[in-house]
Homo-oligomer: A and B are copies of this chain.
């Protein structure tokens, strides 16, 4: 069985495993105060052109989101997000568990607009009976594989600045976003047009790990207390530092992501050639073909792909993912199977 159902099926890129092995018996201080975390932080700040930022390393995405958001908000504030946002649907209420409401707005292709944000703030109207928006959360790429354009991100950022909201980008799949041919955003743009963002490792070559990059000094105050309280401070923190050092070296992070996106775009082309409709037209490593139940049954003999959403009695939207680890042979096999449908 070939699994293409998600992008966290394998372990880690060999370069990471090598680094872990080489340093295994070194003694370092714990909790992220080691030289590898320091070096990884420097490399990330250089990659994203934000020398003044602070970088913290957490194990997982839900943890990173909950920690950043609860550090940012006062108790009565909420976080604006798309109704499809990961924090709104797939984190078992971790944001609410830290006391904050997800102020979900209707998405378009997984995205929300500056205008929607401005309207939501206007509707709240400083009424103390209503949760006050304090932050905007977006994902890049989104949960539907789509991308904000530079113009869209600039507009969101400008609106947030004007309305006193923080802007936070969940970059669990940031590598796949920035390395997509269709993306007009640079790493520097990500830093420039946000108050905080994550650089996702789990889905882009690491065993685990999300780097939280904070440009807003107020948000960064005592952030390590927040990490510890949320259970996100890894004792052997260097494991995170080492992984991000490996990913940032020689642009590995973007190199492996680009290859995955190219594979996904080959799959997309094959689907379109075959006339398979797409649930959403994604330019990144996640593709969302709508198959008939018959087609799905056929494919499922050889491939594990994810059921995304039922469309009608005869059709299901599915998700097909590539990743840094996907062999070309798997992609070739899937394309061949599609062509045969």
By a beta-carbon cutoff of 8 Å, the part of chain A in contact with chain B is 2-3, 6, 8-12, 14, 17, 20-21, 23-30, 59-63, 66-67, 70-71, 74-76, 78, 89-94, 96-102, 128-132, 202-203, 207-208, 222, 224-236, 239, 325
A245 CA to B132 CA, complexed, in Å: 32
Question: Which residue from B21, B28, B78, B207 sits with its C-beta under 8 Å from A239?
Answer: B207
Which residues of chain B are within 8 angstroms of A225 by Cβ–Cβ distance? 76, 92, 128, 132
Find out whether the CB atom of B94 lies under 8 angstroms from the CB atom of A96: no
Find out whether the CB atom of A10 lies under 8 angstroms from the CB atom of B26: yes
Report whether over half of chain A's contact residues are helix, strand or loop; otherwise say mixed: loop
A229 CA to B24 CA, complexed, in Å: 31
Which residues of chain B are within 8 angstroms of A130 by Cβ–Cβ distance? 89-90, 92
Say whether, besides A102-B101, A202-B236, A208-B236, A231 and B63 are in contact (CB < 8 Å): yes
A28 to chain B minimum Cβ distance, whole angstroms, is: 7
Find out whether the CB atom of A71 lies under 8 angstroms from the CB atom of B75: yes
Q: Which residue of B lies closest to A63 (CB)?
A: B231
Which residues of chain B are within 8 angstroms of A24 by Cβ–Cβ distance? 10-12, 14, 17
A61 CA to B61 CA, complexed, in Å: 18
Which residues of chain B are within 8 angstroms of A232 by Cβ–Cβ distance? 60, 63, 231
Question: Which residue from B9, B101, B226 sits with its C-beta under 8 Å from A75?
Answer: B226
Which residues of chain B are within 8 angstroms of A102 by Cβ–Cβ distance? 101
A67 CA to B76 CA, complexed, in Å: 11
A187 to chain B minimum Cβ distance, whole angstroms, is: 23
A98 to chain B minimum Cβ distance, whole angstroms, is: 7
Find out whether the CB atom of B99 lies under 8 angstroms from the CB atom of A236: no
A233 to chain B minimum Cβ distance, whole angstroms, is: 7
A235 CA to B203 CA, complexed, in Å: 9
A313 to chain B minimum Cβ distance, whole angstroms, is: 16
Find out whether the CB atom of B21 lies under 8 angstroms from the CB atom of A235: no
A255 CA to B55 CA, complexed, in Å: 38
Q: Which residue of B lies closest to A131 (CB)?
A: B93
Question: Which residue from B25, B90, B239 sits with its C-beta under 8 Å from A325?
Answer: B25
Question: Which residue from B9, B96, B99 sits with its C-beta under 8 Å from A27?
Answer: B9
Which residues of chain B are within 8 angstroms of A74 by Cβ–Cβ distance? 71, 222
Question: Which residue from B8, B93, B98 sits with its C-beta under 8 Å from A235?
Answer: B8
Q: Which residue of B lies closest to A10 (CB)?
A: B25
Which residues of chain B are within 8 angstroms of A235 by Cβ–Cβ distance? 8, 60-61, 202-203, 208
Find out whether the CB atom of A60 lies under 8 angstroms from the CB atom of B234: yes
Given contacts A20-B207, A90-B130, A94-B229, 14 further A-B contacts (CB under 8 A): A14-B24, A17-B20, A60-B231, A60-B235, A66-B231, A75-B97, A76-B222, A92-B229, A93-B131, A96-B101, A129-B233, A202-B236, A203-B235, A208-B234
